[in-house]
């Protein structure tokens, strides 16, 4: 058995339209945070949903050697935490209720005491205690994203799939959410896969990068090796460079578009 996530020959789409065809990813070991990048409609969200079992797909998804395709959806989602692109809805629920209901709705076997202990752990882990009794409709977008992350983490998943978790957030919250995710994946030895548009954040926070395009995999591996001017050209149709800033972070600079799309 190989620990971590393996994807082999995955084909997924919407009805007759295939978005991903026969996609395979190299093994992502536990504790790895990987970014899934690519142009719009490259299949980033489709890949995450297909791995989670939320979109029909053919092919194999192995988590710690277990074929997730052989599990029912509830059992699969007990192992896989999927954070959707939409923030948790602004409602009159307080944060504690939103998180405890996420756990109790999916784990009916849990006793109240076990659920409370798990909720307490996730509140501490994400430093959310000050928000526990605040209503969701009173929170900022960043705070609601942290609640969404807590709803996902409280179920103690082995695989964390985050669909554009920073797209609705300001700069400060983008950094805070990704720092938290990176810390969580390392501490819990979880595999993390993030669909993300911001290449600079992807290069800064992720250990691996997966570049999608043309219905398949364009590049995958260590960011320094897998992401360069050639990848930018093939994935996005732009001419650009990947350079290091004064703090040592790799940053993407785009010079011009190579082709116009209509």
Instruction: Determine which residue in the list 38, 81, 165, 240 makes contact with other proteins, applying CB under 8 A.
Output: 81
Using CB under 8 A as the binding rule, whether residue 125 contacts other proteins is answered as no
Assign 3-class secondary structure to 173-226: HHHHHHHHHHHHHHHHCCEEEEECCCHHHHHHHCCEEEEEECCEEEEEECHHHH
- Residues sharing a CB contact under 8 Å with residue 96, sequence separation 6 or more, in sequence order: 119, 132, 133
**Of 135 and 250, CB closest to other proteins:** 135
Contacting range for other proteins; rule: CB under 8 A; set: 10-18, 25-33, 113-121, 241-249: 113-121
- Least distance (Å) between residue 132 CB and other proteins: 6
Residue 126's SS3 state is: coil
Using CB under 8 A as the binding rule, whether residue 165 contacts other proteins is answered as no
**Of 124 and 230, CB closest to other proteins:** 124
**Of 149 and 242, CB closest to other proteins:** 149
Q: CB–CB of 98/128 below 8 Å? A: no
Q: How far apart are CA 211 and CA 108, in angstroms?
A: 38
Q: How far apart are CA 131 and CA 205, in angstroms?
A: 26
Number of chain residues interacting with other proteins (CB under 8 A): 44
x/- binding map, residues 194-233, to other proteins, per CB under 8 A?
A: ----------------------------------------
Residue 136's SS3 state is: helix
CA atoms within 13 A on the CB side of 171: 1
Instruction: Determine which residue in the list 25, 39, 136, 149 makes contact with other proteins, applying CB under 8 A.
Output: 136
The footprint of other proteins (CB under 8 A) covers 52, 54, 73-74, 76-78, 81-89, 91-94, 96-98, 101-102, 104-106, 108, 113, 116-117, 119-120, 123, 129, 132-133, 135-136, 148, 151-152, 155
């Amino acid at each position: 058995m190989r620990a971590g996530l393996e994807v082999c020959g995955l084909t997924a789409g919407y009805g007759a339209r295939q978005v991903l065809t026969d996609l395979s990813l190299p093994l992502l070991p536990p504790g790895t945070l990987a970014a899934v990048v690519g142009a719009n409609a490259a299949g980033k969200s489709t890949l995450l949903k297909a791995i989670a079992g939320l979109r029909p797909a053919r092919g194999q998804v192995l988590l710690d050697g277990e074929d997730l395709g052989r599990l029912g959806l509830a059992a699969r989602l007990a192992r896989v935490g999927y954070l959707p692109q939409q923030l948790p809805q602004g409602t009159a629920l307080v944060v504690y209720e939103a998180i405890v209901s996420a756990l109790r709705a999916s784990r009916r076997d849990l006793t109240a005491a076990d659920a409370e202990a798990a909720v307490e752990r996730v509140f501490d882990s994400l430093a959310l205690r000050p928000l526990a009794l605040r209503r969701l409709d009173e929170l900022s977008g960043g705070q609601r994203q942290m609640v969404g992350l807590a709803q996902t983490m409280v179920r103690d998943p082995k695989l964390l799939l985050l669909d554009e978790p920073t797209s609705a957030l300001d700069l400060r919250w983008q950094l805070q959410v990704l720092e938290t995710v990176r810390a969580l994946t390392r501490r819990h030895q979880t595999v993390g896969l993030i669909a993300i548009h911001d290449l600079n954040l992807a290069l800064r926070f992720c250990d691996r990068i997966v570049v999608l395009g043309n219905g398949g995999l364009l590049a995958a591996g260590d960011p320094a090796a897998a992401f360069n001017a050639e990848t930018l050209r093939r994935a996005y149709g732009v001419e650009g460079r990947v350079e290091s800033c004064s703090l040592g972070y790799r940053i993407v600079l785009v010079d011009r578009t190579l082709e116009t799309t209509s």
